[in-house]
């Protein structure tokens, strides 16, 4: 069972580059109501998915990390596979939708390997 990990720029970069599976980064802000609504959904997804690492990066605390990926709207969810960004979602999503997005990312990753 995984948990959502709060990450700094350095920690997020290290986890993304070291992980050979799927990493989902939640670019979030404490003042963002849709971000707060998405948090329990991400907690549930992380808890039910053994092969997924979910990172939460506060864009106010780490603006350079968000800027480096061109993130300008919140929440933005970015999927990474083998250290590379492969899929981006802007806005809050439900659990079912995120499960489908994750499956699509996995399918594309398997097709390319």
pLDDT in tens, the chain (113 residues): 689 999 999 999 999 999 988 999 999 999 999 999 999 999 999 999 988 999 999 999 999 999 999 999 999 999 999 999 999 999 999 999 999 999 999 998 888 76
Rounded to the nearest 5°, which phi and psi values hold at 65? -70, -45
Radius of gyration of the chain (CA): 13
pTM: 0.96
- The whole-number pLDDT of residue 1 equals 65
Q: What does the DSSP assignment read for the chain? A: ----EE--HHHHHHHHHH-SSEEEEEEE-TT-HHHHHHHHHHHHHHHH-TTEEEEEEETTT-HHHHHHTT--SSSEEEEEETTEEEEEEES---HHHHHHHHHHHHHHHHHH-
Domain at 5-112, CATH class: alpha beta
- The whole-number pLDDT of residue 18 equals 95
- The whole-number pLDDT of residue 38 equals 98
Which residue is it, tokens 């800027």? 67
Catalytic residues: 32, 35
């Amino acid at each position: 069972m995984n948990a959502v990990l709060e990450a700094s720029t350095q920690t997020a970069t290290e986890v993304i580059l070291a992980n050979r599976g799927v990493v989902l980064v939640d670019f979030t802000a404490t003042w963002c109501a849709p971000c707060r609504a998405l948090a329990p959904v991400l907690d549930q997804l992380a808890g039910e998915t053994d092969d997924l690492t979910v990172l939460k990066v506060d864009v106010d605390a780490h603006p350079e990390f968000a800027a480096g990926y061109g993130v300008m709207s919140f929440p933005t969810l970015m999927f990474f596979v083998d250290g590379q960004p492969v899929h981006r979602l802007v806005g809050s999503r439900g659990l079912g939708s995120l499960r489908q997005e994750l499956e699509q990312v996995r399918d594309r990753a398997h097709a390319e390997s």
